[in-house]
Chains A and B, each alone.
Chain A
Amino acid sequence: MSWWPFRPEEKKESFVEEYLALFESSIPPIRKINQLEFIVLDTETTGLDVKKDHIISFGAVKIKQGKIRVDSAIELYPESSKSLANTAKIHGLIKRENLLSPKTFSQKLLSYLGSGIIVGHHINFDLEMLQKISSPFGLKSFPNPHLDTLDLAVRLEYGPHINWNEIPMREFGLDQLCERYQIQTEDRHTAAGDAFLTAQLLIKMLKSAETKGIDSFGKLFR
């Protein structure tokens, strides 16, 4: 996580307080995986530098009781602090009229996330980008448990004791994993499209995890 501990404390907005209050009780480790709620998300950004770049779009879908709920699919387009003209040049398709102010975006984001388990491919990057938008309203971090599909994939293929130096990371990109798990890749590089692919990847991987004895919250987040 990349927030500075010495940064002056932002005052928490009430919607942030409400969101943080959801985490007073934690998920019992014995809870079965199919009873968990997952929020699979992805962001589309102007670049890979958390400090300089920013989010263009956010897409997510929820998994409840092992099922991808299409009715929960959302796409959000936050307003950017950078020049809009510059962005439009790169991503001409963005509908400007739908752009959300950082505050509205943060409100919608937090109420959507709730206390579910956040999932994504390279999820830490997405979370840092998201936190950056919400930090002016007092959000220091997302207390949700979060799961990186990359880590899970590696764990499923290499077992519980991983020497990361031995892992051929090139084989664990979203494209490579989709191919391995026989998921048709369409709409790549749109936030919602990638979130949908990641969600399919997750339900397939969780099934495989189950056969390896990983069947509860505790075991998933050992």
Chain B
Amino acid sequence: MNVIINRVAEFLRKHPPFSFLEEGDLLSVAQSVEISYLSKDEWLFHQGEPARPHFFILKEGQIMLQEAGEIREYCDVGDVFGILALLGKRPYVLDALAGENCLIYAIPVAIFEKLLEKNPKVSLYFAAGFAAGQVVFKADLEKGQEARMEFSRKSEDHSLLIFSGQSAFRISKNVLTCQPENTIREAAQLMDERQVSSIIICNEQGYPLGIITDKDLRSKVLSKGISPDKPCSEIMSSPVITRKPDTAFADLYLSMIKNRLHHLILTEDGTAESPVSGILSDHDILLSMGNSPAVLIHALNNANTIEEMAQIRDRAETMLRYYLENEVAMDFVAGVMTEINDVIIQQAIAFGKKHLGKDYPEMEEVPFAFLSLGSEGREEQLLRTDQDNAILYGNVEADLKEKAQEYFQHLGSYVVEAMLTCGFSACPANIMASNADLVLPLSKWKAKFSEWVLHPSPEALLRSSIFFDFRVISGSLALGDELSFHVFEEIKKKPVFLNFLAKNALQNPPPLGFFRNFLVEKSGEHRDQFDIKARAMMPLTDLARLLVLYHGVSGINNTFKRFEKLAEIEPNYQELFTQAAKAYEILMRMRAIEGLQNGNSGRYIAPEKLGKIQRQLLKNTFGPIGELQDIIQVRFQLDFFRS
């Protein structure tokens, strides 16, 4: 084979989408390449020009894609651009300017189009918006995830099918049912005949009224000496939790985990007011999985020591890694990990109360709420990064004040230490329940939030914003609700607070590309690394928090769920919010994988170590950030707003 064509093919082979081509196709593409050289500040094409019969891949140098003089994106070596020509035969929507001397390979559209039809991976690559300059298309991040999974899959692994959708998982459709008037004995006989562990009690229309399981027969009938001739309605568990059969497997499984259900009943419309159509038992699921969430949570609930919990938390990390690498849906992954972290905290509190109880008997009745802040508060803490927490307790009589403060601070310290034992890092800013300033009665917490809302200095906001993501992990939900209500009332009274919060949310402009000096940290320990938390995740978290506070939405803490909610509230920005939610999920996953691989927080990523696909995917997540920030700028009139 011709050395020159080989040389060109060699370069193309390293970069998607060419990397997906078969050798013969690759060589025919390589053979059709035209190589041109642009010196710095020369234009390759201009906005509005009719599409050339070529698209481009950068061999050397840097190309800046601009719109009205503003840089939209940087293309680095190996980036594919000018792709609109390939896809739509439309005029260019951006200007392409050489930021450095550039060697550019032009590939004829005509040749590539044939391959596009032939090779689904290649078309998926373009559909997912990996080519640079495609942001204007609204890079479809969902396709991006799909593509990443497709491209990263090394071998066919059938054990993953359990997560890929219901079709792969067997749900019993032929459900055993009986009427409420049937006797317990009859129900038991039916179960025995069919060799199943549960029976659903239905009314005449087939609507589920309750459920009886093996365990009920044991604990409600035999041990209590109840006559098996009584109607089964007397012992059935009722009401039942139901879901629609076409719900994603992850959601079904999550509702079982959250509600501690062994059996989940599926009905035609998902409510108890429609006929039963199937049943899912945790036994089947357990059999199909090793380190399953249910097993781990069960083990945590039965742990007797903190050390035991620490070991289980390590196992959870193995499971997390498996989930992340196999693209299990992020709301499921985050849901499971949050549940696991929550159980650890709940258990630690229970241990702590037991430990302190004999010295503070009078505190038994004082209501309190253990609050998680920041990422755990937002139900998105996957890795054991900094713990941020606080304690809120009910107002107490004057004579008990000191005692209460002492007790809850001891309790807080106990939990913080337990978390440290379980591998969570300490918060460098000391935002922890062991800090006396953060163990306060309701009245003082209200005052603290009022102060933040009334006097929102930029520094105060920087430190306090994570408090607005608080979530009650254990104790009195009512106390938490009262505090939330107070916060919303205060903001209503002083809406200008939101302008300050908005300003705070715009502090980090989104990056445009990679590699070029301004994107990575310039000095210090993380020199030349990309701070995914500060640069990409925090802006999204801040934007989501701001907008839910603006809309007075409470009870949704998760950043991507907040965006999903916002998409409902503001239908005109539906697409943008949906993209933002997706972007956040991708960032969470990426950071967690990075952290797991390197045994750290995953916060700093070395761009050159990411694969091409990962890099593009990461780059695409920046799109929604910029757009959202523009909206915020206008909505909160930040151009006219001086703090």
Binding site for B on A (CB under 8 A): 59, 61, 66-71, 73-75, 182, 186-187, 190, 192-193, 195-196, 199-200, 203-204, 207-208, 211
Q: Which residues of the other chain, B, contact A203 by a CB distance below 8 angstroms? A: 35-37
> What are the residues of chain B within 8 A of A75 when measuring CB–CB?
2-3
Q: CA–CA, A83 to B34, complex, Å?
A: 39
Residue of A nearest to B6 (CB): A187
What are the residues of chain A within 8 A of B101 when measuring CB–CB? 182, 204, 207
- For B29, give the chain A residue with the smallest CB separation: A70
B32 part of interface (Cβ distance < 8 Å): yes
B8 & A70 in contact (Cβ 8 Å cutoff): yes
Nearest Cβ distance between residue B54 and chain A, in whole angstroms? 10
Cβ-neighbour of B2 out of A69, A74, A200, A204 (below 8 A): A74
Contacts of A68 in B (CB 8 A): 34-36
**A197 (CB) vs chain B CBs: closest residue:** B7
A196 engages B4 (CB within 8 Å): yes
Our pick among A192, A200, A207 for the contact of B35 (Cβ within 8 Å) is: A200
Q: Contacts A66-B37, A67-B34: A200 and B7 contacting too (C-beta < 8 A)?
A: no
Name the residue on A nearest B32 (C-beta): A71
User: Shortest beta-carbon distance, A105 to chain B, in Å?
Assistant: 17
Name the B residues within 8 Å of A208 (CB-CB).
39
What CA separation (Å) do A204 and B101 show in the bound complex?
9
Given contacts A68-B34, A196-B7, 19 further A-B contacts (CB under 8 A): A59-B3, A61-B4, A69-B34, A70-B8, A70-B30, A73-B5, A182-B101, A187-B3, A187-B7, A192-B3, A192-B4, A193-B4, A196-B3, A199-B35, A203-B36, A203-B37, A204-B101, A207-B37, A211-B39
Assess A193 versus B2: contact at CB under 8 Å? Given A70-B30, A200-B35.
no
Q: Is the CB of B2 within 8 A of A66?
A: no
Instruction: Determine if B33 is an interface residue (Cβ-Cβ < 8 Å).
Output: yes
The majority secondary structure among interface residues of chain A is mixed
Separation in Å of the A78 CB from the closest CB of chain B?
17
Report Cα–Cα, A186/B35, bound state, in Å: 17
Q: Could you say which of B31, B38, B39, B60 contacts A71, with CB atoms under 8 Å apart?
A: B31
Say if the beta carbon of B75 comes within 8 Å of chain A. no
List 9 tightest A-B contacts by C-beta distance, closest first: A68-B35, A73-B4, A192-B3, A67-B34, A203-B37, A70-B33, A196-B4, A67-B36, A193-B3
User: Cα distance A52–B141 when bound, in Å?
Assistant: 66
Q: Are B60 and A182 in contact (CB under 8 A)?
A: yes
Q: Which residue of A is nearest B28, CB measured?
A: A71
Residues of B within 8 A of A196 (CB): 3-4, 7
In the bound assembly, the distance between CA atoms of A204 and B39 in angstroms comes to 8
Q: Are B106 and A67 in contact (CB-based, < 8 A)? A: yes
User: In whole angstroms, how far apart are the Cα atoms of A68 and B34 in the complex?
Assistant: 5
Known: A74-B2, A200-B103. A207 touches B7 (CB 8 A): no
* Most B-side CB within 10 Å, residue of A70, A193, A196, A200: A70
A-B contact pairs, 21 of them (CB 8 A): A67-B35, A67-B36, A67-B106, A68-B34, A69-B34, A70-B35, A71-B32, A73-B2, A73-B3, A73-B5, A75-B3, A182-B101, A187-B3, A187-B7, A192-B2, A192-B4, A193-B7, A195-B4, A196-B4, A203-B37, A204-B37
For A70, list chain B residues within 8 Å (CB).
4-5, 8, 30-35
Residues of B within 8 A of A190 (CB): 3
Q: How far, in whole Å, are A56 and B486 apart by their CA atoms in the complex?
A: 88
B514 to chain A, nearest CB (A): 21
Residues of A within 8 A of B2 (CB): 73-75, 192
Query: How distant is A68 from chain B, measured CB to nearest CB, in Å?
Result: 4
Give complex CA distance A74, B4 in Å. 8
* Shortest Cβ distance from A196 into B: residue: B4
* Contacting residues of chain B (1-48) with chain A, CB-CB under 8 angstroms: 2-5, 7-8, 30-39
**Which A residues touch B32, using CB under 8 A?**
70-71
Bound complex: CA A10 to CA B496 (Å)? 97
Taking the closest CB of chain A, its distance from the CB of B473, in whole angstroms, is 57
Q: A69 to B33, alpha carbons, bound, how many Å?
A: 7
> With A and B bound together, what is the CA distance between A199 and B34 in angstroms?
12
Among residues of A, the one whose C-beta sits closest to the C-beta of B1 is A75
List of A residues within 8 angstroms of B3 by Cβ: 59, 73, 75, 187, 190, 192-193, 196
Chain B residues in 8 Å Cβ range of A204: 37, 101
B461 to chain A minimum Cβ distance, whole angstroms, is 48
Across the interface, which residues of B come within 8 angstroms of A59, CB to CB?
A: 3-4
A197 to chain B, nearest CB (A): 9
Chain B residue at smallest Cβ distance from A191: B3
CA distance A207 to B36 in the complex (A): 10
Determine the distance from Cα of A68 to Cα of B30 in the docked complex, in whole angstroms: 12
Across the interface, which residues of A come within 8 angstroms of B30, CB to CB? Answer: 70
- Chain A residue with the shortest CB-CB distance to B103: A200
Kindly list chain A residues whose C-beta atoms are within 8 Å of the C-beta of B39: 207-208, 211
A contact residues around B4 at 8 Å (CB)? 59, 61, 70, 73, 192-193, 195-196
Contact A66 B60 (CB under 8 A): no
**B98-132 interface code vs A (CB 8 A; 1 in, 0 out):** 00010100100000000000000000000000000
Contact partners of B8 in chain A: CB under 8 A: 70
Separation in Å of the B104 CB from the closest CB of chain A?
9
Give B519-540 as 1s and 0s: 1 = Cβ < 8 Å from A's Cβ atoms: 0000000000000000000000
Chain B residue nearest in CB terms to A205? B37
CB contacts (< 8 Å) of B7 on chain A: these are 186-187, 193, 196
